[in-house]
Amino acid sequence: MATIVTNTSPIQTTPPVERRVSLAAIQSHLPLPANARWPDGVWDIEALSHGSMSVLLFAPRGTDYQSMHEQDELYIILSGSGTLLVDGQGCSFCPGDVLFIPARVDHHFENFSDDLVTWAVFWGPDGGES
């Protein structure tokens, strides 16, 4: 936390909020090392966050091993195409699409192209908004 001193008293300010994220800069960090859950490498990385909001870059390769999340989620498809399976039902997508997934709903990408890149935006309370 920064402190600004005025003529009368100090004013507390919050740390600056990141306002811009470079896709190329974030994407250059992928993949992260493989682990038990993601044996082909981890293909998501947090780009920025503020309060309950978090933005990840997600670019799965091979198989999408993700599981349901505690917060509501938006995917903003930057490149690639395929099918998003949501609670057992398929939804095709292509670049420019925005996909909404409620909190605690099982979902993953299937039959997706090798160039799939999407922002994943999480926000709100655990369990999602009403």
- The DSSP code sequence of 31-50 is SBPP-SS-TT-B-EEEEEEE
Measured distance CA(100)–CA(120) in Å, rounded: 10
Give residue limits of the domains in the chain: 18-123
Q: What is the pLDDT of residues 48-86, one digit of tens each?
A: 999 999 999 999 999 999 989 999 999 999 999 999 999
Question: What are residue 104's phi and psi, to 5 degrees?
Answer: 65, 25
Q: Which of 1-10, 15-24, 91-100 has the lowest mean pLDDT?
A: 1-10
Q: Are 79 and 95 in contact (CB under 8 A)?
A: yes
Measured distance CA(13)–CA(15) in Å, rounded: 7
Residue 91 pLDDT greater than 60, yes or no: yes
Q: Sorting pLDDT into bands at 50, 70 and 90, what band is 1?
A: very low
Going by C-beta distance under 8 Å and a sequence separation of 6 or more, which residues neighbour residue 113? Answer: 80, 81, 82
Strand arrangement, sheet containing 107-110: 89-93, 82-86, 107-110
Helix (H) or strand (E) holding 25: helix 23-27
**pTM (predicted TM-score):** 0.85
- At the fourth CATH level, the homologous superfamily of domain 18-123 is Jelly Rolls (2.60.120.10)
Tokens at 9, concatenated = 């008293």
Question: What are residue 5's phi and psi, to 5 degrees?
Answer: -100, 125
